[in-house]
Chain A
Amino acid sequence: MDRSYLSDQQVVAASREFVCARLITFEDSEEARLMRRLYGGRRLVNTMFTIMDPRGKRALVRAGRSPRMAFDDAVEMATKMRAVAKRYPGRKKLDAADLGLPILEDVRIALNVTECDAQQLVVLRGDDQQIQKMRQKLVALSWSEQLIGRFLYAVADDNTDWKSLKGADKGSKAGVMIVRTEQYGLTGEVVSAAKASATVTELQEMLLAAVASHRPKAVDTRRLRRKGIRDRVQWKAEISPPKGR
Chain B
Amino acid sequence: MNICRLLLVLALGSCVVAQGPKPGVTTDWAKVESRIAWHGTWAGALAAAEASQRPILLVFAAPHCGLVPGMW
Q: Which residues of A contact B (CB under 8 A)?
A: 1-7, 9, 11-13, 15, 17-26, 28, 30-31, 34-35, 38, 45-56, 60, 65-66, 68, 81, 84-85, 87-91, 94, 98-105, 109-110, 112-113, 115-119, 142-143, 148-150, 152, 181, 183-186, 215-225, 228-229, 233-235, 237, 241, 243-245
Contacts and interface: CB of A to CB of B under 8 A. Distances in A.
Contacts of B64: 112, 235, 237
A19 to B, nearest CB: 4
Interface string B25-66: 111111011111111111011111111111111111111111
Nearest to B47: A100
A7 to B, nearest CB: 5
B69 A112 contact: yes
A53 B65 contact: no
Given A21-B45, A104-B40, A221 B63 contact: no
A3 B67 contact: no
Contacts of B28: 218
Contacts of A23: 40-42, 58-61
Interface residues of B, number: 57
A149 B57 CA distance: 15
A99 B68 contact: no
Interface of B: 10-12, 14-15, 18-21, 23-30, 32-42, 44-72
Which applies to chain B's interface (DSSP): helix, strand, loop or mixed?
mixed
Nearest to B72: A1
B67 A234 contact: yes
A18 B38 CA distance: 10
A228 to B, nearest CB: 3
Nearest to A89: B53
A18 B54 contact: yes
Among A18, A65, A68, A89, the most chain B Cβ lie within 10 Å of the Cβ of A18
A204 B8 CA distance: 47
Contacts of A184: 68-70
A76 B41 CA distance: 27
B52 A90 contact: yes
Nearest to B54: A90
Contacts of B27: 3, 7, 118, 218-219, 221
Contacts of A3: 20-21, 27, 72
Contacts of A148: 34-35, 37
Contacts of B38: 20-22, 102, 104, 149, 152
Contacts of A5: 20
A2 B20 contact: yes
A185 B39 contact: no
Contacts of B68: 184, 224-225, 228-229, 233-235
B40 A24 contact: yes
B37 A85 contact: no
**Which residue of A54, A152, A184 has the most chain B CB atoms within 10 A of its CB atom?**
A54
